[in-house]
A and B are shown apart, each in its own frame.
With several copies, the nearest count.
Chain A
């Protein structure tokens, strides 16, 4: 059996080398044809490391937790509210909408047709969000899928699912955990995962 597995992994590594070489060939051709700049790829990756990432969403959620007026404005007009915090919108966030989780209603975001995701607030989508099995199951058996994410909901909690298919990118303000009274926004933001801001995680005070 171990021989088989080694062969399998070897084969996988070979494929990855191929994909890597083909990608390199692609960028190389783009450079030759003046379709890309030498620093474009680095700048794009850096952009999602420093400018558009889940740190934005966490900042917004923490603010909403400590400032009820801000939260009201966020739920009313998400794009305008995040601008107050100096967060720019843009691609895949032209029309953002925040929904607030409560103890009785849990929100889950998915995109069964592709992988629509609120980039300005969460950066790029992680692999789980794009997984065909996740997208197949989350709309029909959300409680079973939540279990696979180790999320335990009270059975009486109602679930609302948001399946993006046209223009709006949905974003969840999760429930603020107990025991965080008086915490700073920075300290609160550190608790908030990407998953919690799409309903596949809860926020816990560490």
Chain B
């Protein structure tokens, strides 16, 4: 069990953060800018970052602030893929630690900025124009499967083995990503919005009529 895949419903984790800022340190903005550049130029995509996050030590996952985890994940990815090498990164880090006001090199690719902005306005269309023959229909009861632990999943841990009702069948086939190892979603397939009653997921909680909606890939479902 990878804890990050089972985060929802974990008990006794203490008070939540109510920090309303997006960035709490200046360097986080710069890091986010570099990340967005990587997204916009195709160096990586969300699934790569998620794989890194799910592969972390779960205690570190809780311990480190969001962008600190990003920094670790981005550097590890770039080193693995040989975009940069660790020695040059370490050396330059030491240099900027000792010379925090030293300027960045006045170099770079001026075409990247517009490409990144264009990308931000375009995004990624997950739909694939292939036959979509959904197995389930609105109103049908479905059970969420409990497949083996995978490097990366989009199956929410607390929904495993739960029964819900199809609330919506999305119109086109969706490809999650075929550039990372997943359990079963790296082929285009229908997705569904499924409605669950929270009292069925957590029967030990005070009884309510509260419900929970989530989109689920077809390969994670069976008829109930």
Q: Please report A residues at the B interface, Cβ cutoff 8 Å.
A: 16-45, 47-48, 52, 88-95, 110, 112-115, 123-128, 130-142, 145, 148-149, 158-168, 194-195
Contacts and interface: CB of A to CB of B under 8 A. Distances in A.
A93 B123 CA distance: 8
B41 to A, nearest CB: 7
Interface in B25-52: 25-27, 29-34, 36-37, 39, 41, 43, 46, 50
Contacts of A44: 32-33, 36-37, 116-117, 120
Contacts of B100: 17, 20-21
Interface of B: 4-5, 7-11, 13-22, 24-27, 29-34, 36-37, 39, 41, 43, 46, 50, 53, 61-62, 65-68, 71, 74-75, 78, 83-84, 88-89, 92-97, 100, 104-113, 116-117, 119-126, 153-156, 158, 170, 174, 176, 191, 193, 198, 201-202, 205, 208-217
A34 B108 contact: yes
A37 B109 contact: yes
A38 B16 contact: no
B120 A47 contact: yes
A64 to B, nearest CB: 20
Contact of A16 (B15, B27, B111, B201): B27
B108 A161 contact: no
A3 B68 CA distance: 23
Contacts of B13: 132-133, 136-137
Contact of A22 (B16, B53, B89, B153): B89
Contact of A133 (B16, B36, B108): B16
B75 A22 contact: yes
B122 A139 contact: no
A114 B53 contact: yes
Contacts of A45: 29, 32-33
9 contacts: A20-B96, A24-B27, A28-B96, A44-B36, A139-B9, A160-B213, A162-B212, A166-B154, A167-B170
A19 B72 CA distance: 10
B26 to A, nearest CB: 7
A35 B215 contact: no
A188 to B, nearest CB: 20
B92 A28 contact: yes
Given A28-B104, A135-B7, A167 B126 contact: yes
A23 B8 contact: no
B19 A126 contact: yes
A28 B96 CA distance: 10
Contact of B117 (A29, A47, A134, A136): A47
Nearest to B217: A166
Given A91-B124, A132-B7, A136-B8, A21 B117 contact: no
